[in-house]
Amino acid sequence: MDNSVAYELYLYTIDTYKRLASTLPLDERLARFDPNCFSKLGELELGDEAFAAVSVRLMLQRKYFVRGKDLFLRRLLKSAERDFASSKDVIESLLDSLDALNSQSIEFAFGDGKVVEGAFANVEDVMYGVLMHADITRAENLVSVPEHMRLVALAPYIAGREQILLQFSEFLLNAGIKPLSRKEEASATVSFESKDACRQIENSPFWRNLRGRDLGDEDIEKKVQQGSRDDLEIITAVLLFKEALGRRPLDPSELNSLVARETIFRWGDYLQAAELLEGDYGMSTLVRYQEDGSALVKLLPNVREPFLIEGPQLIEGGHEIVLVKRNGIWKIWAMR
């Protein structure tokens, strides 16, 4: 893997790491436990929360500390040492911290006389014995040591690795590296119960991943004829609202006539709404009626030509127009 791609991938995974780790904070007293201060052992919270915080970090960290993995941290640091020569001292400091962490002396001795030396080896017992695998030999090692003892022994090591990981991510960000991001110029979709439907949308390339097909004039005419009176009134109201937002200068009087009277003050000068719909926005002809009497119509961006969506699908982006009926007339209530 190219180094630049590896750095982007690293930052992407670290973003996920931080999101998950932040939901399960590791108690600072446990993370910084000093084996020379056993008198403070009774102050530590070693229940399920501590177990979860340590276990989740172990699983998330594994890809950075196993040789041969794309994001093996030592290899990344060595690469960064060459790629960012002007900041070589920063990378060397991180490598020194990693070496110091791995050289710390710790061993687990079991009742059968077996000894497992080193924090990394004991971390692997946890990973292979219970978290990601179920190796019987390693699991026997785990049950031979009380859980709270293992937490106290390994938490500072895990916290130290986390600190190095986060420091390296900050270094890459400061160096101008950005997390891996989507590069395709097409929408992402999730389809449900639509195995028989085909992806035949060609005239609006952004939506080519949708299960559906392009629509011609005759298709559109049939769709309109199949709609109820309310459907047609709602679609007309949304179309007029969309067209009014697309004209410059904006005409507040025209727009005020299309929205529910009690919402006029919320729209302001309508400029924000107009900016949200800039570009090739297309309007769905499917009206969804809500239990509260309102109706929803979807607006999608990058629609060059009409198309039909077949089957239930999750679609990213776009906006929804909410309408309510006032004195027998459908009015725009909100856009979200």
pLDDT band at 169 (very low <50, low <70, confident <90, very high): very high
pLDDT for the residue 103: 92
298-309: pLDDT as tens digits? 999 999 999 998
pLDDT for the residue 256: 98
The phi, psi pair for 296, rounded to 5°, reads -120, 140
* Domains of the chain with CATH codes: 3-174 (no CATH), 189-335 (3.10.450)
pLDDT band at 315 (very low <50, low <70, confident <90, very high): confident
pLDDT for the residue 73: 98
Cβ atoms of residues 189 and 204 within 8 Å: no
Share of the chain above pLDDT 70, in %: 98
pLDDT band at 35 (very low <50, low <70, confident <90, very high): confident
pLDDT (average), residues 297-321 = 92
246-286: pLDDT as tens digits? 999 999 999 999 999 999 999 999 999 999 999 899 999 88
pLDDT band at 194 (very low <50, low <70, confident <90, very high): low
pLDDT at residue 39 greater than cutoff 70: no
pLDDT for the residue 59: 97
pLDDT (average), residues 284-305 = 95
Q: How many other C-beta atoms are found inside a 10 Å radius of the C-beta of residue 258?
A: 18
198-256: pLDDT as tens digits? 899 999 999 999 999 999 888 888 887 888 999 999 999 999 999 999 999 999 999 99
pLDDT at residue 38 greater than cutoff 70: no
What is the SS3 assignment for 47?
A: coil
Q: What DSSP letter does each residue of 274-325 carry, written as one string?
A: HHHT-SS-EE-S--EE-TTS-EEEEEESS--S-EEE-S-EEE-S-EEEEEEE
